Amino acid sequence: MVHLSVYAPENLPEIERGDSIAERILTSLADFPLQTGDIIAISHKVVSKAESRMFDLREITPSPKAVQYGVLLGKEPALIQLILNESEEVLWAERANGPMICRHHRGFVCANAAVDCSNTKPGHAVTLPLDPDLSAAQIRGEIERRLNIRIGTIICDTHGRSFRNGACGIAVGASGIVALKSYIGKKDRVGRVMESSVECYADELAAAATLVMGQGDEGRPIAIIRGFQGTIGEQSAKEIIRQQETDIFLQALQKTRK
């Protein structure tokens, strides 16, 4: 029987600006010794808070473009300005009270460039960390050094999807894992060489972690995945972004906009 476990501690303190996430995790897991092979999934929100990526909307001056979108979408212009600041391009923004579908500077295509107001101070909004892969690497490095073990880290967000309702946990940052597992060239059960299967372990791990983290008021922003057989690797989450040149879905949205 293969067995994978996903744990979420319930005593992680509220993370503040400047906090060391690694230290908070280790304190919170004092009675739960981490092991080599464990993967720690962390909600991007606590990383963003620690890295000063929470913004007071009163301090943001909206551009004319943001005001224009504000009227169209029925959203606060300062919030839209923050979304625009995070975006490489707006792919779709047409429906009142609807999302802006944006391509984030780091390549993620998602609603509102991942800018989020839930679980933040009133009048504030949180963006992604500036470099979620770097954040994942730093947290991993600090935990590995302190405990002398080898782990993987994932920074999670929940994104909506094309064609399907609801959002799922995905990896916006990762370090020390196999993010994309290729089966190409491997044999299946009847000896046939597989031609195209690539599985996104990073996003599946993030989805599994999200099941125990919750998205409301649960206060469980980290999860430990133990027993996964495909842990060790050197990929980050950057590899998961489709190349723009071959992304037919992105190109279709871009064409529609024009």
Query: Which residues ranging from 113 to 132 are in contact with its own copies (CB under 8 A)?
Result: 117-122
Contact 40, 53 (CB under 8 A): no
Binding-site member from 132, 155, 228, 236 for its own copies (CB under 8 A): 228
Return the H-helix or E-strand segment holding 103.
Answer: strand 101-104
Three-state DSSP state, 76: coil
Q: Does 198 bind its own copies (CB under 8 A)?
A: yes
| Binding piece for its own copies, criterion CB under 8 A, among 62-70, 137-145, 149-157, 174-182 | 174-182
Three-state DSSP state, 159: strand
Binding-site member from 138, 158, 175, 236 for its own copies (CB under 8 A): 158
Cβ closest to its own copies, residue 16 vs residue 188: 188
Q: Does 146 bind its own copies (CB under 8 A)?
A: no
Q: Does 133 bind its own copies (CB under 8 A)?
A: no
13 CB-near residues (< 8 Å, 6+ apart): 24, 27, 28
How many chain residues touch its own copies (CB under 8 A)? 78
Q: Does 256 bind its own copies (CB under 8 A)?
A: yes
**Burial of 124 from C-beta contacts in 10 A (0-12 / 13-18 / 19+):** middle
Q: Does 64 bind its own copies (CB under 8 A)?
A: no
The closest alpha carbon to 53, from 112, 116, 103, belongs to 116
Q: Where in 236-255 is the site for its own copies (CB under 8 A)?
A: 239-242, 247-253, 255
Q: Where in 18-57 is the site for its own copies (CB under 8 A)?
A: 32
* Smallest distance from its own copies to CB 95, Å: 9
Q: Where in 72-111 is the site for its own copies (CB under 8 A)?
A: 92, 99, 101, 108-109
Q: Are strands 198-199 and 181-182 parallel, antiparallel or unpaired?
A: antiparallel
Q: Does 220 bind its own copies (CB under 8 A)?
A: yes
Return the H-helix or E-strand segment holding 195.
Answer: none
217 token code pair = 């008021």
Q: Does 10 bind its own copies (CB under 8 A)?
A: yes
How far apart are alpha carbons 204 and 221 in whole angstroms?
A: 17
Binding-site member from 126, 174, 212, 222 for its own copies (CB under 8 A): 212
